[in-house]
């Protein structure tokens, strides 16, 4: 991530910004000289400058969004894929499928069952007796294991020492494969990211139906008066 951020992204943003500012100044000069004879400004040149300005503005906008996203990921010390995994986990956190995979992954990594998890907030959810979901653990208790909590330290872990941030050959101390877990005391799961191990599970029996649907409070469609016998709809499988 450090190499990608240092040169291509930063170079493109600076270059496109300079080109856009040049084109804007060019258009401003046309506007200031609008009372001069028309033959002093070529129509093809004016049209080309306008088209290039609009195109450059679009490129700067899209690249700027990607640049800010990359910068945010550096501050959080996570990759783009890890941020996508965070969004996926947030949407699947209170599902039986997710916690079944977390428990299986914990047993595979540590060789023992998942211990009882605790939460810093009061839980009002009601779960089935055989539910895989921990009753006293919320998404807010989930710790991203590679975020040190310090913006400066996260940047140093991603880009290397501060005096090498703008150096083309500067790099972080890590090897790009193994990363230091900086929140081991607060991380109750103590698992690599993502905690469920993988999102590429093609279990043909792993699908959500109206009879198995459950919300964050442990309520099923039957609690809302839905006649499950007349509702055969099956939701598409997760990909």
pLDDT tens digits, residue range 15-68?
889 999 999 998 888 888 777 776 677 778 888 889 999 999 999 999 888 888
Integer Cα distance of 212 and 228 in angstroms:
10
Residue 91, pLDDT above cutoff 60: yes
> Rounded distance, CA 232 to CA 235, Å?
10
- Tens-digit pLDDT profile for residues 167-208: 767 777 766 667 777 766 678 888 888 888 865 454 444 445
Question: Which of the pair, 231 or 93, is modelled with greater confidence?
Answer: 93
Between CA 233 and CA 212 the distance in angstroms is: 11
Distance between CA atoms of 172 and 158, rounded to whole angstroms?
Answer: 6
Exposed e or buried b per residue across 89-126, where buried means at least 16 C-beta atoms within 10 angstroms of its C-beta: beebbbbbbbbebbeebbeeeeeeebeeeeeeeeeebe
Confidence of residue 149 (pLDDT cuts 50, 70, 90): confident
């653990």: which residue's tokens? 137
Measure the CA–CA gap between 141 and 116, rounded to whole angstroms: 13
More confident residue, 153 or 122: 153
What is the C-alpha separation between 189 and 16, in angstroms, rounded?
A: 44
Integer CA distances (angstroms), 77 to 35, 151, 196, in order: 55, 8, 20
With a pLDDT cut of 70, the percent of the chain lying above it is: 72
Percent of the chain with pLDDT over 90: 10
Rounded-to-integer distance, Cα 222 and Cα 33, Å: 73
Q: What is the pLDDT of residue 237?
A: 47
Look up the pTM and report it: 0.61
Q: Output the CA torsion 191→194→196→200 (10° steps).
A: -150
Say if residue 162's pLDDT is above 50: yes
* Calpha distance 144→90 (Å, rounded): 12
Residue scoring higher pLDDT (168 or 77): 77
Distance in angstroms (rounded) separating the CA atoms of residues 101 and 105: 6
CB 150 within 8 A of CB 187: no
Q: Give the CA distances from residue 78 to residues 23, 29, 63, 64, 162, in Å, rounded to whole numbers and listed in that order.
A: 36, 45, 19, 19, 18
Reference 76, options 178, 145, 5; nearest CA is 145
**Phi, psi (rounded to 5 degrees) for 52:** -65, -35
Record the tokens describing residue 55, joined without a space.
């195109």
């Amino acid at each position: 991530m450090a190499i990608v951020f240092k040169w291509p992204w930063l170079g493109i943003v600076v270059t496109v910004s300079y080109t856009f500012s040049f084109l804007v100044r060019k258009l401003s000069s046309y506007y200031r000289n609008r009372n001069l004879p028309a033959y002093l400004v070529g129509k093809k040149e004016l049209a080309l400058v306008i088209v290039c300005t609009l195109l450059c503005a679009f490129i700067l906008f899209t690249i700027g969004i990607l640049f800010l996203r990359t910068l945010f990921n550096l501050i959080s010390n996570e990759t783009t894929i890890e941020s996508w995994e965070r969004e996926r986990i947030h949407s699947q956190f209170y599902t039986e499928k997710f916690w079944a995979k977390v428990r299986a992954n914990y047993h595979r990594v540590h060789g023992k069952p998942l211990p009882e998890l605790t939460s810093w907030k009061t839980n009002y959810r009601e779960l089935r007796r055989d539910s895989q979901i921990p009753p006293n653990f919320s998404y807010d208790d989930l710790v991203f294991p590679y975020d040190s909590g310090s913006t400066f330290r996260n940047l140093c872990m991603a880009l290397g020492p501060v005096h090498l941030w703008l150096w083309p050959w500067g790099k972080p101390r890590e090897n790009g494969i193994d990363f230091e877990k900086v929140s081991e005391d607060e991380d109750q799961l103590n698992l690599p990211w993502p905690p469920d191990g993988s999102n590429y599970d093609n279990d043909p029996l792993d699908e959500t139906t109206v009879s198995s649907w459950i919300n964050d409070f442990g309520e099923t469609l039957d609690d809302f008066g839905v006649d499950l016998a007349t509702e055969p709809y099956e939701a598409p499988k997760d990909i």
